[in-house]
Amino acid sequence: MPATYGPRFWPNPRRSITLTGDRSVRVRARGRVARPRARIHRCAPGPGTGILKNSQIMPEGIMPEQTDNWQEGLKPRLVDEIEYIIDAFRCASDGRIRIKPARGDHRIDYLYAEGQILVRDEYLGQVLGILEPETDQDEVRTTPGRLRRVIAGVTLLTLAGERFPTVLEALEEIDRLLGRGIATPDHVLTVAGEGIPCPATEPQEAYDEIEPYPSVCPDGGGGVLIYMDDTGLLTDAATHSWLAGVDAGNVDPGNGQEPIPPYTGHGTFVAGVLRCMAPAADVIVTNVFDVAGSRLESDWIPRLEAALGLGADIFHLTVSTHTRHDHPLITFQKWLSHLREYGGVICVVAAGNDSSRRPSWPAAFSEVVSVGALARDWRSRASFSNFGGWVDVYAPGRDLINAYATGTYVCQFAPYAGKERHFYGMAKWSGTSFSTPIVTGLIAARMSRTGENGRQAAAALLAEARRAAIPGVGPILLPSCGGQDACGKRAECGCGCGGQPRCRDC
């Protein structure tokens, strides 16, 4: 996820693919190939072992849950961003979806939807017995809208009784009687900045016709299909040579709006970074995260499940959330069990921008490749990046330059709220959203060079990253293609293109 807000783009279209009602774009390889506010919303019609990498579930008795006066003691920027997300869901659903923040000690713990919970199917009867009077259980099962299958093994339950009027009250009682992890909130996953991590910053201005940074590799990624859930593509993505040929028709929900809405172009920027690393890869981009760069867990997972049938070699995800008591997302856990049936497919996930050791999901699952961000010197960890034993590798994520929207962007969040920034199709952006496509692109490039599948290529690159580990930071992977270390060191390019990594000022 990005640390700042910005855009992305892609090349040669093959065909359009529709995924469960979402608009998506398939990209084919190019051959060679009192604060001021500026709100712009437009309201219109219990886990097993081995799940969390190198960490433990938080102990009992931490992270008090409360939503009253949630703004108290928080940084102004965080308050602004969370309010923006809450307002966006309210507008998009005509007020039907109420997003609430759960407070922890001096922080926001997570965002969730009030009035509904996720329940493991094997415990659904017991949960109904706790929440609903005995005589009402059959009615709950037959009433339209009360129960909805999210993925095999997990059901969304809409609360309606007076015994436990709020999600947190209902979950506390379920935890007390059945244990933790049986039922969870319907979490909000987002590409947002600190409003539970993605971009670390809002997009920053870049000169017209400036080259992307890191630069474009000459080749790599041929024959590899990458699936990416994000905010979609801008329609003028194809004006950038590394994204030439893309059929971006009406994908990004903020496309063409003036001023540029927050999170618009996030998918385009990410895609641009990825294609710089693997210019011959095929990519499918969706606009699933189309509500302020966010989506409810219960709405996202069915679309991700449908995408398993597309034959992707790599799943690329730049969204994250913290969770109640740091338990894994039970829906994504089920999805991973289905992903195992597709041999050789790998999932790469952004670690998030909370500057925290606390696990962020889905990046903390042991079966995915989680990516943190390096600072501008490429030798230290970016100040915004999450970290810890659950983060597999770090790649450059500060001040990257790539494709973005054209127009005026009005900053939404403190300390720059109300300030105008002007863009000409490129932007500078920061975040783990943008370090992650570097790793995904390097995996794709290695696959096309060696014939390895996604899991094998990822394992080989992670082994290289561990050999290059920096004390106090961790394993690192650097982009390459045409550069040389500022310190004069020369090493083999990670993607196999023959270029030299650039560590910058190390």
Dihedral sign for Cα 351, 356, 361, 367, please.
positive
Has residue 139 been placed in a domain?
Answer: yes
Write down the pLDDT at residue 135. 59
Distance of alpha carbon 268 from alpha carbon 235, whole angstroms? 10
Distance CA 388, CA 285 (A): 30
Structural domain ending residue among the three candidates 164, 190, 216: 190
CB-based contacts of 308, cutoff 8 Å, min separation 6: 338, 339, 342
Regarding whether 164 and 244 lie in a shared domain, the answer is: no
Give residue 120's pLDDT: 99
CB 332 within 8 A of CB 365: yes
Whether 18 maps to a domain, the answer reads no
Residues 186 and 204 in one domain: no
- Which CATH number goes with the domain that contains 217? 3.40.50.200
Domain that holds residue 462: 24-34+196-467
Alpha-carbon distance of 372 to 388, in angstroms, equals 10
User: What is the per-residue pLDDT for 181?
Assistant: 96
pLDDT tens digits for 267-324? 999 999 999 999 999 999 899 999 999 999 999 999 999 999 999 999 999 999 999 9
358/432 same-domain check? yes
Q: Is the pLDDT of residue 190 over 50?
A: yes
Residue 384 lies in a domain: yes
Could you tell me if residue 167 is inside a domain?
A: yes
Identify whether residues 383 and 250 lie together within a single domain.
yes
Q: Is residue 472 part of a domain?
A: no
Q: Taking a C-beta distance cutoff of 8 angstroms, is the pair 430, 399 a contact?
A: yes
Q: Are residues 94 and 200 in the same domain?
A: no
Residue 71 counted as domain residue = no
Nearest to 260 by CA among 498, 424, 79: 424
The model's pTM: 0.86
pLDDT tens-digit series, residues 8-61: 323 333 333 444 444 455 555 544 334 444 444 555 434 443 566 754 444 444
pLDDT of residue 39: 47
Per-residue pLDDT tens for 246-268? 545 558 999 989 999 999 999 99
> For the CA atoms of the chain, what is the radius of gyration?
22
Q: How many separate domains does the chain show?
A: 2
Based on the fold, state whether residues 228 and 345 are members of the same structural domain. yes
Contacts of 407 (CB under 8 A, 6+ apart): 258, 259, 260, 422, 423
What's the pLDDT tens digit per position in 423-482? 999 999 999 999 999 999 999 999 999 999 999 999 999 999 999 999 999 999 999 753
Pair 266, 147 in one domain:
no
Q: Are residues 290 and 333 in the same domain?
A: yes
Specify which residues 228 forms β-bridges with: 285, 316
Q: Is residue 69 part of a domain?
A: no
180 with 250, same domain? no
Verify that 283 and 415 share a domain, yes or no. yes
More confident residue, 351 or 67: 351
pLDDT of residue 149 exceeding 70: yes
Domain ends where: 190, 224, 246? 190
Residues 170 and 286 in one domain: no
Residues 321 and 395 in one domain: yes
Tens-digit pLDDT profile for residues 390-400: 999 999 999 99
| Residues 484 and 502 sit within 8 Å (Cβ to Cβ) | yes
**Average pLDDT score, the chain:** 83
**pLDDT confidence of residue 15:** 34
Tokens representing residue 111 in the block: 């965002």
Amino acid, single-letter form, for residue 236? D
Q: How many CB atoms lie within 10 A of CB 338?
A: 14
Is 70 a domain residue? no
Best CA proximity match to 371, nearest among 321, 433, 454: 433
Q: Which of 8-12, 168-172, 210-214, 237-241 has the lowest mean pLDDT?
A: 8-12
Through-space distance between the first and last CA atoms of the chain, rounded to whole angstroms: 25
d(CA 88, CA 254): 13
